[in-house]
Structure 1
Amino acid sequence: MIELVDAVATVGIDIANVAAAGPPADLPGPVPDFVGDVLGSVRSFIEGSIDNLGKAVSDLTPGGN
C-alpha cells in the first residue's frame, strides 16, 4: 500500500512539473514585415521557381547582406 501511495505522489509531482513548464505567458512581439516575404522565397525555392535562395533572401532583408 505504501508503494502505491508513493507512486501516486510521484505521478502527481510529475504532472505538476509538466504543467509548470508550459509555454511562457508573454508572447514575442510581431515579426518584421519582410519575414513573410523571406518565407515566401523559401517556399518558391522549394517549388523550384527560385534558383538562388541566398540572393533572394539577401535582396529582401534590411541591409541586403
Structure 2
Amino acid sequence: MIELLDAVTALGIDLANVAQAGPPTDLPAPVPDFVGEILGSVRSFLDGGVEKLGSTVSDLTPGGS
C-alpha cells in the first residue's frame, strides 16, 4: 500500500481531487424547442425529405438567416 502511495505522489496525482471527479450531480437545463426541430430536420435530410440541410437549419435557428 505504501508503494502505491509513493507512486501516486511521484506522479503528482492529488487523490482528493480524483475522489471528487465524476459526473455532475445536477441535470443540465432543458434544451430550447428549436433544437428538437433541428434534429428532426436532420432526420428528414437523412431520409431524403429535406434537400438543403444548411438552409433548413438556418431557418430554424433563432437569429439565423
Normalised-by-shorter TM-score class: 0.5 to 0.7
Amino acid at match of 1:31: V
Q: Please list every run of 5 or more consecutive structure 2 residues that lacks an aligned counterpart in the other structure.
A: 5-17
| Percentage identity across paired residues of the two chains | 65
RMSD between aligned alpha carbons? 2.4
1:36 aligns with 2:36: yes
Aligned to 2:25: 25
Aligned to 2:48: 48
Aligned to 1:60: 60
Alpha-carbon offset, residue 40 of structure 1:
0.1
Alpha-carbon offset, residue 29 of structure 1:
0.6
Q: Please list every run of 5 or more consecutive structure 1 residues that lacks an aligned counterpart in the other structure.
A: 8-16
Distance 2:50 2:22 in 1: 39
Alpha-carbon offset, residue 26 of structure 1:
1.4
Aligned to 1:11: none
Distance 1:54 1:48 in 2: 14
- The alignment's TM-score, normalised by the length of structure 2, stands at 0.65
Distance 1:45 1:21 in 2: 39
Runs of 4+ in 1 over 4 A off after TM superposition: none
